[in-house]
Structure 1
Amino acid sequence: MKKELKIYLASPRGFCAGVKRAIEIVEKSISKFGAPVYVRHEIVHNKQVVEELKEKGAIFVDELSDIDDASRPVIFSAHGVPKSVPEEAKLKNLSFVDATCPLVSKVHRESEQLNKNGFDILLIGHKNHPEVIGTMGQLPKGSIKLIETKNDVDLLKENDFKKPLAYITQTTLSVDDTAEIIEALKNKFPKIKGPIKEDICYATTNRQSAVKEIASKCDMFFVVGSRNSSNSVRLVEVAKKAGCNKSHLMHSEKEIPFNEIENSEIIGISSGASAPEKLVQTLLNSLKRDRNVSIEEVIVAEEKVVFKLPKELN
C-alpha cells in the first residue's frame, strides 16, 4: 500500500508574461530570419529553455564580439542590457531585436527620468545580476548607487548626496526583504522619492504570495527553477521565511531527495518565472511513483498580462 502524500501546488507559478514574450521573440526570429540567430546572454535564466532554443537554431553568446556572422540578427535577453550594447550593435551594423521585459524597461525609463530631473539614484538589487548591470548601464557610470542590504543603508551618509534622493529596484527581489530596505531608507532619508508604481513585478509578487500562503503547512517545499534565476532563488527564501525550513531549489542537476520525502506527509511545489511547466509535471510524476498523491492547487491571483512583440516581428 502506497503512503498518502498531499501536495499543495502554488498558483501562479512558472512562466510570466515577460518570459513568454522573450522565448516567443527567439522562436519568431528563427522562423522569420532563418537559423541561426544569436542571443546575447541566456534569454531567460533556465537551462532547459536555453537548450531547446539551441536545438531550434539559437546561438548563445556572452558578448557581441563573440558573434561570428554579422549578417545574422542578435536578440538581447529579457533581463535588459546597458545602453552601450545597442550602441555597439549599431556600430557593427548588426540587426538586433530587444527582448527586454517591458517591466524592466519601465525601470530603465524611470532611472533616465529621475536623472534628467536632477535626482541622485539608489538601486536596490543584487550585484552582477544581468538586470542590475542593464539598469545601471542606462546612465553614465557613477549615476546609480547599488544597495543590496539594510546594512548598506546604514553605511550611507546624508552628505554623500548633493541632490534630492530617489530609489528604484530590481524587478525580481523578495517583496518582504525589499520592504525592509525601503523602510530603512525612508527612516534615514524621509524625503526620498520612490517609484509611483512599485518596481517589483506583478509575477514576482504573485509567486511569492502563493508560496507564503502554503509553505507553513508543508513538511517540505520545492521550487522548480535554475540556480541563476533570481526569482526562483527568492521563492526558496520566501518558503523558508514563511515557516518551511526544508525548502529546496530543484534545478537541473539536483536529485529529488526521496529519502527525506519518505517522512513527509505534505509537500508544497512552485516554480520560478522562467521555469517551464513540464518540469513541474515531471517532478509530480516522480512523486506519484512511490506515493498515493492528492494535489490541491492554491490560487492567489489570476494572471492575464500579455506583452506585445516588438514591431520587427509583427
Structure 2
Amino acid sequence: MRVVLAQPRGFCAGVVRAIDIVELALQKFGAPVYVRHEIVHNKHVVDGLKLKGARFVDELDEVPEGAVTIFSAHGVSRAVVDDAKSRGLPVLDATCPLVSKVHAQSRHYVRRGRTLVLIGHIGHPEVEGTVGQVQAPVHIVSTEADVASLEIPPDTPIAYVTQTTLSVDETRGVIAALRNRFADIVGPDTSDICYATQHRQTAVRELCRLVDVLLVVGASNSSNSNRLREIGVEEGVPSYLIADSKALDLDWVTGAKVVGLTAGASAPEELVLDVIAALRQIDEVEVTQMNGTQEDIVFRLPPELRDMPSGLAAVDA
C-alpha cells in the first residue's frame, strides 16, 4: 500500500499559538489555568493540556476569582470580554489573529452604518464570537438560498465578512449572490480568508487525483476537518473523517493501492503517524508526501508571555 500525505496538513499558526499560550501560561503562572471552551477543536489536544493542569470551562462563572483565564482560538463576544474585566480576571487571549481581524472588520463596517452579513455556520463558536463583537444585528448566511431569503431591502448599504474556516471556493457563490442582490455592498478581499483553510483544501483536491481512498484526521466538531472530508466526496473519492487510529475501519482501505491522508488544522501530527502505524497492520506501507505549500507563518504571543521560551520566532500577524 502507498500512503500519500497531503501538504500542508495539520496544525496551522493560529492553533500552534493557542496551544503555546496554554502551555506557556502553565509554565509561568502554574496550574491550574482556566480555558473558556475547547482551546481548539481536538479532544487529544484538550486531554493533553488537562493532564498538564489546564481546566476547561463552559462559562466564566466557573472560573475562581483571580485565576488566569484563557479565551479559545475561536474568539469570544464583547460580553465575555466585559464579564472577565468586571471580575478582574487576568486574561490571555488565544483568539487567532485572523479571527481578530474579522472582528475588527465587522466593527468597522457597523460603525459606518452598514448592515452586516456574516458568511458562516450558525452555532459555530467563531460565528457566535463575531456576532457578539458588534452592537448591531448580524445576518448569518451559509448558502445562496440564505441570501435570497434575507429580509433586507435591496438598497440597504451592506457589508459582509466570513468565518475564517471557510475557503474562497466555499464563499465565492454566496458573495456573488450578495453582490447580485445588493447594489451598495463592500467586503474584505478574498486574500483575507484564512490562508490555512485554503491551503489545506487545495491540497486535498490535488491529493484526490492520486488516491483510491481519503482519510481525514480531525474531530467531528471541527468545521475545517469536516470540509476536507466533504471535498474528497465531491471529488468522487471514498472519504472518511476519523478522530484517531482507533476510529479507522480497516475495511475502508483493504484492497486500496493508494491511500490519501491529511489532517484538519487542529489535529496534531502524532495522530497522523498513529494512523500510518494502524495501516501497517494490514499491509506493507510506503509513505510519500505530495508537493505543496510550505507554511512558515508564526503569530506573535500575548505580551505577558513573550519572555517565555517557546522555540518559535514570533512575527506580527
Q: Give per-residue Cα distances to partners, 1:27-68, cap 9 Å, x unaligned.
A: 11111111000000000000000000000000000000112x
1:116-131 map, 5 Å: 116-131=111-126
Q: Which 4+ residue blocks in structure 1 deviate beyond 4 angstroms? A: none
- 1:221 counterpart residue number: 214
- 1:84 counterpart residue number: 79
- 1:54 counterpart residue number: 50
State the Cα distance separating 1:116 from its structure 2 match. Answer: 1.2
Q: Unpaired segments of 5 or more residues in structure 2? A: 307-317
Judged with a 3 Å threshold, the aligned counterparts in structure 2 of structure 1 residues 90 and 264 are, in CA distance, closer, same or farther, namely same
Judged with a 3 Å threshold, the aligned counterparts in structure 2 of structure 1 residues 129 and 199 are, in CA distance, closer, same or farther, namely farther
- 1:149 counterpart residue number: 143
Q: Give per-residue Cα distances to partners, 1:289-313, cap 9 Å, x unaligned.
A: 2212122211321101000100011
| One-letter amino acid matched to 2:97 | P
- 2:225 counterpart residue number: 232
State the Cα distance separating 1:187 from its structure 2 match. Answer: 2.0
- Per the alignment, in what secondary structure is the counterpart of residue 98 of structure 2? helix
State the Cα distance separating 1:217 from its structure 2 match. Answer: 2.9
Q: Give TM-score, length-normalised by structure 1.
A: 0.93
- Per the alignment, in what secondary structure is the counterpart of residue 11 of structure 1? coil
- 1:98 counterpart residue number: 93
Please, which of 255, 262, 266 is the counterpart of residue 274 of structure 1? 266
1:16-35 map, 5 Å: 16-35=12-31
Please, which of 278, 282, 296 is the counterpart of residue 286 of structure 1? 278
- Per the alignment, in what secondary structure is the counterpart of residue 291 of structure 1? coil
2:37 is the alignment partner of 1:44: no
1:149-228 map, 5 Å: 149-156=143-150, 159=153, 163-228=156-221
Judged with a 3 Å threshold, the aligned counterparts in structure 2 of structure 1 residues 258 and 121 are, in CA distance, closer, same or farther, namely same
Conservation of the 8 A alpha-carbon contact between 1:174 and 1:238: no
Conservation of the 8 A alpha-carbon contact between 2:245 and 2:278: no
- Per the alignment, in what secondary structure is the counterpart of residue 23 of structure 1? helix
Q: d(CA) in 2 for partners of 1:223 and 1:174?
A: 17
Conservation of the 8 A alpha-carbon contact between 2:156 and 2:182: no
- Per the alignment, in what secondary structure is the counterpart of residue 126 of structure 1? coil
| One-letter amino acid matched to 2:11 | F
Q: Give per-residue Cα distances to partners, 1:217-252, cap 9 Å, x unaligned.
A: 3221011000111111111111111221x1010114
Q: d(CA) in 1 for partners of 2:299 and 2:229?
A: 27
Q: Give TM-score, length-normalised by structure 2.
A: 0.93
| One-letter amino acid matched to 1:89 | A
Aligned length: 306
Q: Unpaired segments of 5 or more residues in structure 1? A: none
- 2:3 counterpart residue number: 7
Q: d(CA) in 2 for partners of 1:305 and 1:122?
A: 29
RMSD: 1.5
- Bigger mean CA offset, 175-184 vs 39-48: 175-184
